[in-house]
Amino acid sequence: MKIDILTIFPKVALAPLSESIVGRAVAEGKVDLGVHDLRDWAVDKHRRVDDEPYGGGPGMVMKPEPFFAAVRELRGGGDAKVVLMTPQGRRFEQAMARGYSAAGGHLIILCGHYEGVDHRVVEALVDDEVSIGDYVLTNGAVAAAVFVDALVRLLPGALGDERSSEEESFAEGEALIEAPCYTRPPEFEGMVVPEVLLSGHHGRIREWRHERSVERTRANRPDLLGGQRG
């Protein structure tokens, strides 16, 4: 899989993707990740990528020319899917991460800043608009890092143990969030690990985890069980 991120804050996008599981996947070549400074495709000598909004209003709008030039160059005549990070997009969820991860191929991710991006970019270049949640961030580099992290960890071999992604919250066919987990010591400041987890009895452990999953889903995410979101 090849992923290019276009942003005016390359360091912001790159930092979280250089560590841990995603950093290792990149180092091992499981994903070919490029993080680019959009200003490298600016058309004037001041490397300007924004301008005042037509129609008035606060803030600045990101100009179309750098996005068009950058996408053309990064695509290089090949096939690439272009994703814009925007709070106006489809809400990002684990099922979408699974879809993008399984599809592989070449992704070019556009990050906005200020008021947003000239809409001609959306109309002519973008295949999918993705929001990481119903809130507004200052820039798309943070959102792109979240998006890329979620789908790279699902690439074959990225996680040490494939069961991690099969048995977690929002796993395929799973409407529940994961059960609580514990590690050593068995007792800490008077708080003990549930006895069943120390029993070595796989059937009882499975049952306990399922019950806790249902309990926690009902408390924290009733919407997943068809109820109202808390």
The single residue among 140, 148, 208, 217 that binds ligand SAM, judged by CB under 6 A, is: 140
Query: Two tokens at 122?
Result: 């959306």
Query: Cα separation of 164 and 18, whole Å?
Result: 21
- Which part of the chain contacts ligand SAM (CB under 6 A), choosing from 27-35, 111-119, 149-157, 222-230? 111-119
Judged by CB, which is closer to ligand SAM: 133, or 185? 133
Instruction: Sheet containing 61-62: give its strands across.
Output: 50-51, 61-62, 116-117
Other Cβ atoms within 10 Å of 193 Cβ, number:
16
- Antiparallel, parallel or unpaired: β 128-131 and 81-91: parallel
The single residue among 10, 64, 66, 116 that binds ligand SAM, judged by CB under 6 A, is: 116
Residue 51 contacts ligand SAM per CB under 6 A: no
DSSP letter (8 states) at residue 106: E
Query: Cα separation of 117 and 60, whole Å?
Result: 9
Judged by CB, which is closer to ligand SAM: 54, or 135? 135
Query: Two tokens at 42?
Result: 């600016």
The single residue among 77, 79, 136, 184 that binds ligand SAM, judged by CB under 6 A, is: 136
Residue 70 contacts ligand SAM per CB under 6 A: no
Could you tell me the smallest distance in angstroms from the CB atom of residue 18 to ligand SAM? 21
Could you tell me the smallest distance in angstroms from the CB atom of residue 137 to ligand SAM? 4
Question: What are the residue ranges of helices labelled H in the chain?
Answer: 10-17, 20-27, 64-75, 94-103, 119-125, 140-152, 163-166, 195-198, 202-220
Residue 112 contacts ligand SAM per CB under 6 A: yes
> Which residues are at the interface with ligand SAM (CB under 6 A)?
85-88, 111-113, 115-117, 131-133, 135-140, 143
